[in-house]
Structure 1
């Protein structure tokens, strides 16, 4: 294991800045809900600590100095703000159980709308944006109320498994990745894909999904290189 990184070290401060940027971008794109929901990124030192947005701040106002550092037990280690309990129970479990470095949890409207349907999730054979997620989506149909204990967080994490995206029935979504910029790109395009499906379904006309082979090929093409994801995030950095 690498030496533990200090909260004020340049690598950690860069992660804080990137996490704050992702939160402001999500607010800008209409993916936020009040002062609820959380984004987190694990420190790359194997210490079992991760960065998280604090309790009580709108995503649009969050800056790097507002980010807090916590451990997998829910203890706040650094930062000037408090942490919301449900954030700890969900994010700590997902980081620990799935091994995902970046965990983004939202109640963004169109994705959440699909969690209210019998299918519970996006049809990844429909739009081109949806096909990028083919083979990467899990659905947790069991809604147990607010995640107020470690057992519920671990149940959600196990339902996600090795998927990059998990639709939480009657709740919202989790989008995970190895990097903040890649995960945010997925979050943005997931909502766009869900919006297209909801709008198409609202017409009452039968939908026309592609076949599985085509959807799988598009997923491979989209994820074959991530430069577009990185360029998008840098464009957000320049404009937000």
Structure 2
């Protein structure tokens, strides 16, 4: 009986990992479709529920739009490749391993998407979460790291970024890009997409030179509360991406 339970659990975990691979590959292709990628750089990762010291990561050298489930690589927190036929990029491993380990977030999406990255080049280094409705959903969820230290080529820089997150879901990395974290991949991807949309609206609005019209802090907090309390749209969006992008 014990052996049967063990086999059943092993099959369950194997099926769950296969599902995570499919979802992660879909998120990467969706991000490419939405213009959020940059060459063969930037990475998305998902921790394994049964072993948070292991995570799935997109491989080195593939464009996001070409990534399929069997391309996804499994690595441990020391950067050792456990499964997959492709190599991994060192900077990806150092950033993602540290954020998974220190913040305990299941999903870590790192992107140099254009409008969010543009805002990391400004003195504020962030999104104004009192402007658009899309921006307000992130009110109180954003961390700003002004201290750019070059490429993350060792554990020290990855850990510095992870500690700077300080529990926040969204990290604006000065002169670099952004990190979006979450417990579920569909929620995290929805946040990534709407974060870029919010940043795009702010960049366009600021480019007009016209006076901006921020909402009150009370309204911004209320929209953030409303958004976090109703995530069905996030689930439906990811299902729609699966139907339309395959």
TM-score, structure 1 as length reference: 0.97
Query: Quick check: 105-114 or 219-228, which moved more?
Result: 219-228
Matched, 1:212 2:217: yes
Paired residue total: 238
> CA contact under 8 A between 1:7 and 1:13: conserved in structure 2?
no
Q: Match of 1:78?
A: 83
1:208 Cα shift? 1.2
Matched, 1:103 2:108: yes
Q: Which stretches in structure 1 are left out of the alignment for 5+ residues?
A: none
Distance 2:196 2:226 in 1: 20
Q: Give the one of 174, 179, 190 matched to 2:179.
A: 174
Q: Match of 2:128?
A: 123
Q: CA RMSD in A?
A: 1.4
**Larger CA Rg, structure 1 vs 2:** 2
1:161 Cα shift? 1.2
Q: Which stretches in structure 2 are left out of the alignment for 5+ residues?
A: 1-5
Distance 2:10 2:171 in 1: 30
1:115 Cα shift? 0.1
Q: Give the one of 6, 22, 29 matched to 1:17.
A: 22
Matched, 1:50 2:55: yes
Secondary structure at the aligned position of 2:124 is classed as: coil
Q: Give the one of 160, 170, 173 matched to 1:165.
A: 170
TM-score, structure 2 as length reference: 0.94
Q: Match of 2:71?
A: 66
Moved over 3 A (4+): 3-8
The verdict on how the C-alpha distance between 1:160 and 1:100 changes in structure 2, with shifts beyond 3 A counting, is: same
Matched, 1:30 2:32: no
Q: Give the one of 229, 234, 237 matched to 1:229.
A: 234
